[in-house]
């Protein structure tokens, strides 16, 4: 999705609409052009994205909002895994210290 957003920005595209096997592209200046997907490999990812999302069209504004909402999602898994590893290390250290003291007292 980020690649599609960058493609929109690089080519001054405002909106793309899927029309059968063609894409109707509306540019920021209002100009509209229709491109056949059969001979344009560069536009196929846009078609695939629209079909996977069940949409007929997408705009740069929508892509930007989707991109921002994905950036705002926090991924806590690294913190959870890191905390678990640290906790396991502390528990292992405590067990090692207790076992060492017991062995030292038995002699």
Report how far apart, in Å, the C-alpha atoms of 4 and of each of 22, 55, 83, 91 are. 17, 15, 36, 48
The CATH number of domain 2-72, selected from 3.30.720, 3.40.50, 3.10.20, 3.40.1000 = 3.30.720
Q: What is the mean pLDDT of residues 70-98?
A: 87
Angle of helix 60-72 relative to helix 2-10, nearest 10 degrees? 140
The per-residue pLDDT for 105 is: 61
- Rounded (10°) CA dihedral 2, 4, 5, 9: 140
Residue 56 has pLDDT above 80, yes or no: yes
The per-residue pLDDT for 106 is: 60
Reported pTM? 0.62
pLDDT tens column, 12-51: 999 999 998 899 999 999 999 999 888 788 888 898 888 8
Sequence ranges of the domains in the chain: 2-72, 75-107
């Amino acid at each position: 999705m980020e690649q599609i957003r960058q493609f929109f920005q690089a080519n001054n595209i405002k909106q793309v609409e899927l029309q059968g096997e063609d894409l109707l592209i509306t540019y920021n200046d209002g100009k509209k052009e229709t491109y056949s997907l059969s001979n344009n490999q560069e536009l196929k990812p846009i078609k695939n994205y629209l079909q996977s999302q069940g949409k007929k069209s997408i705009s740069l504004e929508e892509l930007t909002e989707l991109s921002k909402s994905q950036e705002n999602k926090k991924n806590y898994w690294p913190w959870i895994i890191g905390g678990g590893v640290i906790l396991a290390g502390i528990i292992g250290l405590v067990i090692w210290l207790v076992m060492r003291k017991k062995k030292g007292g038995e002699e």
